[in-house]
């Protein structure tokens, strides 16, 4: 089908080419312009975000020395701290979380622990029982259970503020495992009264569990190693990441509290607070273990929530940011930070235009294609790989060459997000609020849990079949590229096809295995009942 379409398009283009074709020059027809203008417009927009990655790399090396490694001074008397633990159906990790919090090295008389549980499953009973046990041991811990989930995580955090006693609030999601010295290492940065947030660096207890978790770790390292350090060191706005950080209660109130009109309540609060003049501090030397999604569906759900939420935050906040008295550099960085996910629907548009553009460009000649396309490829692909290779080298300086092997896999993982993220970004643009869907977490003992109850799993739905269709389309694009000797495009087309197939068959495979287990267990239950 793709070859027939390409053949038809070729005939159209050949008819539009002047007699100068065989000298290497031809006149572009209206048909050529109708293909090339939107195609290159999309490529240029994508290239802007690609060039921004080069700029982040530059800022990282220029400003990394400005990122603090220790607080400039310490409190003479430690302040009161509240630890908030928002939960929603987290039964596999709640015990691990409470054990880590119970080990925090901070005076109990200055500590308040809030378990903010919105769970609708047996996590409710388990968490309440564990809190009672820790209470009996003398820990200052309280259990708050909501039944309406109003405002999702932001609503739970805002409701918890009603009984907060701490001047500062540390927040940990259910899969995070802070070290015992976490509070004592972070709290002293607040001796500066202008500091509103101290954000620490995420690390990953299951980084090496499979290829997907390893690639996710590299992606997040790009954010935490490069972006956060570059923005903090360059005195630009950056975001609290929703967990593994400490916030000043007065800052939350001054910025308008936790609001739930976006799915990224952390980024929303961060920008509102920084517009108010609060200073944020990023401390990469303080690490906090977390868990990465171990299956493709969980990865897609997490990333699509972040993509949609960040676009919502951009729509909500950018007008205020642009009207503010912030430096133009701060405004530009905020725009590029809040809007990069627009690239996902643009990639879908580019996919639709790819074959026609390949046909038109074929007659332009190799020299013109290299001169025009070369810089765009460098901006889009080289910047991506350089960005993540450098981030990997910062974490593993003695084994950084492995990152070169991971780059095609990382690119394919990015493609695996294209369809679902394009959908959620478009929803954000048209005003669909959506709901806050948690990422499945299983803890280090997760192999048994991953085979667990159906309510912890997602149905595949229609998305994998769309991804299979897109993968087939890219294979046909590749066949046409071979037919027209456009071998330069083959590696990129192969990555796109592999990414779509990886996403689709991973999700469908997981669902098929879950269904087979369910049917087998039901048969065993029926046999036992007899």
DSSP state of 205: T
What's the pLDDT at 7?
A: 46
What's the pLDDT at 362?
A: 64
- 167-184 mean pLDDT: 97
Q: Taking 60 as the threshold, does the pLDDT of residue 19 lie above it?
A: no
What's the pLDDT at 309?
A: 96
What's the pLDDT at 18?
A: 39
- 466-483 mean pLDDT: 91
Lowest mean per-residue pLDDT among 193-207, 213-227, 261-275, 465-479 = 465-479
More confident residue, 56 or 33: 56
Separation of alpha carbons 126 and 132, rounded Å = 10
Whether the CB-CB separation of 172 and 81 falls below 8 Å is answered with no
Lowest mean per-residue pLDDT among 205-214, 361-370, 383-392, 461-470 = 361-370
pLDDT confidence band for 516 (50 / 70 / 90): confident
What's the pLDDT at 398?
A: 93
Q: Which of 283, 174, 300 lies closest to 224, judged by CA?
A: 283
Q: Which residues, other chains included, contact 127 with Cβ-Cβ below 8 Å and sequence gap of 6+?
A: 87, 90, 94, 98, 115, 117, 119, 143
What's the pLDDT at 447?
A: 46
- 96-111 mean pLDDT: 97
What's the pLDDT at 1?
A: 42
Q: Taking 70 as the threshold, does the pLDDT of residue 218 lie above it?
A: yes
Separation of alpha carbons 475 and 351, rounded Å = 12
- 276-297 mean pLDDT: 96
What's the pLDDT at 76?
A: 94
pLDDT confidence band for 16 (50 / 70 / 90): very low
What's the pLDDT at 34?
A: 86
Q: Taking 90 as the threshold, does the pLDDT of residue 382 lie above it?
A: no
Cα dist from 182 to 55, 273, 422, 451, whole Å: 32, 23, 38, 33
Residues with catalytic function? 118, 266
Q: What percent of the chain has pLDDT over 70?
A: 88
- Which pTM value belongs to this model? 0.89
Q: Please, what sign has the CA dihedral across residues 225, 95, 152, 156?
A: negative
What's the pLDDT at 73?
A: 93
- pLDDT tens digits, 429-468: 999 887 777 788 887 654 444 444 444 455 678 899 999 9
pLDDT confidence band for 363 (50 / 70 / 90): low
- pLDDT tens digits, 242-254: 999 999 999 999 9
For residue 455, how many other CB atoms are within 10 A of its CB? 9
- pLDDT tens digits, 113-136: 999 999 999 999 999 999 999 999
pLDDT confidence band for 4 (50 / 70 / 90): very low
Q: Which residues, other chains included, contact 420 with Cβ-Cβ below 8 Å and sequence gap of 6+?
A: 300, 303, 304, 463
What's the pLDDT at 203?
A: 97
Q: Taking 70 as the threshold, does the pLDDT of residue 13 lie above it?
A: no
């Amino acid at each position: 089908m793709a070859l027939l379409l390409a053949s038809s398009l070729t005939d159209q283009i050949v008819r539009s080419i002047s007699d100068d074709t065989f000298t290497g020059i031809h006149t572009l027809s209206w048909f050529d312009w109708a293909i090339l203008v939107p195609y290159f417009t999309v490529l240029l927009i994508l290239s802007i975000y690609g060039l921004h990655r080069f700029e982040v790399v530059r800022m990282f090396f220029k400003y990394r020395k400005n990122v603090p490694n220790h607080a400039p001074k310490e409190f003479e008397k430690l302040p009161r701290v509240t630890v908030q633990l928002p939960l929603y159906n987290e039964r596999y990790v709640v015990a691990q979380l409470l054990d880590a919090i119970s080990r925090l090295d901070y005076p109990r008389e200055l500590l308040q622990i809030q378990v903010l549980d919105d769970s609708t499953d047996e996590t409710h009973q388990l968490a309440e029982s564990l809190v009672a046990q820790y209470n009996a041991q003398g820990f200052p811990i309280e259990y708050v259970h909501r039944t309406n989930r109003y405002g999702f995580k932001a609503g739970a955090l805002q409701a918890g503020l009603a009984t907060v006693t701490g001047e500062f609030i540390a927040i940990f999601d259910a899969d995070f495992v802070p070290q015992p010295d976490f509070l004592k290492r972070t709290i002293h940065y607040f001796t500066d009264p202008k500091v509103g947030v101290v954000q620490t660096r995420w690390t990953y207890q299951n980084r090496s569990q499979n290829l997907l978790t390893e690639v996710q770790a590299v992606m997040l390292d790009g954010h935490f190693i490069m972006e956060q350090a570059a923005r903090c060191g360059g005195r630009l706005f950056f975001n609290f990441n929703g967990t593994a950080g400490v916030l000043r209660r007065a800052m939350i109130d001054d910025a308008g509290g936790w609001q739930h009109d976006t799915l990224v309540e952390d980024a929303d609060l961060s920008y509102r607070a920084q517009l108010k003049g609060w200073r944020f501090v990023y401390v990469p030397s303080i690490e906090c273990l977390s868990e990465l999604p171990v299956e493709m569906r969980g990865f897609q759900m997490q990333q699509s929530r972040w993509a949609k939420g960040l676009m919502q935050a951009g729509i909500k906040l950018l007008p205020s940011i642009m009207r503010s008295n912030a430096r133009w550099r701060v405004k530009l960085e905020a725009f590029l930070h809040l809007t990069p996910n627009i690239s996902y629907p643009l990639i879908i548009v580019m996919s639709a235009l790819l074959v026609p553009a390949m046909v038109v460009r074929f007659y332009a000649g190799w020299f013109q294609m290299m001169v025009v396309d070369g810089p765009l490829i460098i901006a889009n692909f080289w910047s991506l790989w350089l960005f993540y290779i450098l981030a990997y080298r910062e974490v593993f300086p003695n084994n950084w060459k492995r990152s070169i092997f991971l780059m095609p896999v990382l690119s394919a993982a990015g493609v695996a997000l294209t369809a679902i993220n394009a959908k959620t970004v478009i929803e954000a643009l048209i005003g669909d609020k959506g709901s806050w869907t948690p990422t499945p977490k299983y803890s280090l003992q997760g192999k048994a849990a991953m085979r667990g109850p159906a309510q912890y799993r997602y149905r595949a739905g229609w998305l994998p079949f769309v991804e299979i269709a897109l993968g087939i389309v890219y294979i046909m694009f590749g066949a046409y590229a071979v037919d027209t000797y456009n071998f330069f495009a083959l590696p990129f087309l192969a990555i796109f096809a592999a990414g779509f197939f990886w996403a689709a068959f991973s999700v469908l495979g997981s669902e098929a295995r879950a269904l087979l287990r369910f049917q087998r267990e039901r048969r065993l239950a029926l046999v036992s009942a007899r």
